């Protein structure tokens, strides 16, 4: 302990610190435990029951292991993560940097790029569906004009996942942009000034100063981005689901783990099986996050 004021009574200070910490944490922690932890444990316990109420079985898990639809959803979810997270972060960063460089109309650009994130998913999904429409959609109109054959997009199992991913990226990059904006502003200006005096180029400044100092931001966006992407649901549900279509289709090509769980819980009323899916998902997310934190979290000396 190299604390300045700890000379006289180090133990007492430490205990007091701990006490303070927990005083501040007690209400939030209680809240978390009752709102998140307990319900989760309840949901997890359901996974050990089957529909005819026999408890203490791992039948659901056995069924899960052999369920080809479940594994397809795992594959799809992995693809969603790999495709969307890096792209939305990269785009968000590029836009945030670009906005920082210009002098006028910053608020306008920020607002427009943020719009996709704030617009209601229902309205937005239907606009996208119309744009993707194989026969009359504007994308195919453009492709035809460029003499490229029309594509199936949401209707083609080979393109559907990418089509949905495009919508996810479109929505999420504004969010990345916002966080990067905050992160960029938090970089102390005197670093840039010092580097400029030393004659560093813009490119070098970015890689040696900005990028490293954005590390906490990048870690944050990567970890939360992956966690959220692993739980993809609303865009898929709205773009491929509804009364006239099959959520997660066509042929389960866009099905994610959470969409599959939702189907089991609320369309098939098989809460128990759905809970088992949730448990497996939780384990996946936990493992991925721990690995990520290990790799990404480096501290930088100032």
Partner 1 sequence: MKKKKREIGAVFIHIFLLAGVMIVAFPFIWMILSSLKSISDFYNFSFLPKKIDWSGYQYIFQETEFLRWYWNSIVVAVTVTISCLIFNSLVGYVLAKHRFPGAKIVFILILSTLMIPTEMLVIPWYVMGSDFGWVDTYWGIMFPGLIEAFGIFLMRQFMLGVPDDILDAARIDGMGEFKIWWRIALPQVKPALSALGIITFLGNWNAYLWPVIITATDNMRTLPVGISLFSTADAGGIKWNLIMCMSTMAVIPMIIVFLFFQKRIVEGIAMTGVKG
Partner 2 sequence: MKKSKFTIFIAMIICVLILTSACGKKDDSNSGKVTITYWQYTFPQKVDIIKDLIKKFEAENPNIKVVAQDFPYDQYNQKIAAAVNAKKGPDIMNLYYGWLPQYQQKGYIQSIPEDFMSANDIESYYIPMIQASKINGKYYGLPVAVRSLALFWNKDMFKAAGLDPEKPPKTWDELITMAKQMTKMKANGQYEQEGFAWDVNGQGYHTFEEVLLRQWGIIPFSDDGKTVQWSSSPEGLEAFKYWVNMTKEEKIGDRNFLTDYNTAFKAGKAGMMIDGSFSVAATKEAAKFAWGVTTLPVREEGGIKSNFGSYWTNSLAKGLSGEKLKAAEKFLKFLISEDTQKEWLDKVGELPAAASFSNDDSIKSDPIYGPFVEGLADAHATLFVDEAKERDSINNAVESILLKNAPFDKTFENLVKEQQKIRDQYYK
Nearest approach in angstroms of CB 208 to partner 2 is 42
Stretch that binds partner 2, among 96-104, 177-185, 224-232, 265-273 (CB under 8 A): 265-273
**In this structure, what token pair is assigned to residue 293?**
């934190």
Closest CA to 79 of 286, 254, 262: 254
Is there a contact between 223 and 285 (Cβ–Cβ < 8 Å)?
no
Instruction: Kindly provide the b/e burial profile for residues 178-205, where b requires at least 16 CB atoms within 10 angstroms of the residue's own CB.
Output: bbbbebbeeeeeeeeeebeeeebeeeeb
β strands within the chain, DSSP E? none
- In the complex with partner 1, the residue whose CB is nearer, 162 or 271, is 271
For residues 240 to 259, the per-residue mask of contacts with partner 2, x marking binding by CB under 8 A and - elsewhere, is --xxxxx--xxxx-------
Preceding peptide of 273 cis, ω within 30°: no
Are the C-beta atoms of 180 and 214 separated by less than 8 Å? yes
> In this chain, which of 83, 161, 275, 280 binds partner 1, going by CB under 8 A?
275
User: For residues 176 and 240, which CB has a smaller minimum distance to partner 2 in the complex?
Assistant: 240
* Binding flag, residue 156, partner 2 (CB under 8 A): yes
Helices and strands per DSSP (H, E), number in the chain: 15, 0
Provide the minimum distance between the beta carbon of 213 and partner 1 in the complex, in angstroms, as a whole number. Answer: 9
Q: Which stretch binds partner 1 (CB under 8 A): 50-58, 61-69, 75-83, 111-119?
A: 111-119
- DSSP code for 41: H
Q: Does 68 bind partner 2 (CB under 8 A)?
A: no
- Touching partner 1, residues 7-36 (CB under 8 A): 14, 17-18, 20-22, 24-25, 27-29, 31-32, 34-36
**Which residues lie near partner 2 (CB under 8 A)?**
27, 129-130, 133-136, 140, 144, 149-150, 155-157, 242-246, 249-252, 263, 266-269, 271
């Amino acid at each position: 302990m190299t604390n300045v004021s700890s000379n006289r009574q180090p133990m007492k200070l430490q205990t007091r610190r701990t006490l303070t910490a927990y005083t501040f944490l007690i209400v939030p922690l209680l809240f978390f435990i009752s709102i998140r932890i307990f319900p989760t444990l309840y949901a997890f316990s359901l996974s050990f029951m089957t529909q005819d109420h026999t408890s203490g079985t791992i039948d659901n898990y056995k069924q899960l292991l052999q369920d080809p639809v479940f594994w397809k959803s795992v594959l799809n979810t992995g693809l969603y993560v790999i495709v969307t997270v890096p792209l939305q972060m990269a785009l968000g960063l590029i836009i945030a940097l670009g906005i920082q460089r210009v002098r006028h109309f910053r608020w306008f650009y920020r607002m427009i790029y943020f719009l996709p994130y704030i617009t209601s998913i229902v309205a937005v999904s239907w606009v996208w569906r119309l744009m993707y429409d194989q026969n009359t959609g504007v994308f195919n109109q453009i492709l035809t004009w460029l003499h490229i054959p029309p594509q199936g997009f949401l209707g083609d199992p080979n393109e559907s996942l990418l089509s949905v991913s495009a919508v996810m990226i479109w929505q999420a990059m504004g969010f990345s942009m916002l966080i990067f904006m905050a992160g960029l502003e938090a970089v102390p200006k005197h670093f840039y000034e010092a580097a400029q005096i030393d004659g560093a180029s813009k490119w070098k400044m970015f890689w040696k100063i900005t990028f490293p100092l954005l590390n906490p931001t990048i870690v944050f966006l990567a970890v939360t981005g992956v966690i959220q992407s692993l739980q993809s649901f609303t865009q898929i549900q709205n773009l491929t689901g509804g009364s006239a279509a099959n959520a997660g289709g066509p042929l389960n090509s866009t099905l994610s783990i959470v969409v599959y769980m939702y189907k089991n819980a609320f369309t098939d009323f098989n809460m128990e099986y759905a809970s088992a899916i949730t448990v497996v998902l939780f384990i996946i997310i936990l493992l991925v996050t721990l690995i990520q934190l290990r790799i990404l979290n480096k501290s930088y000396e100032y």
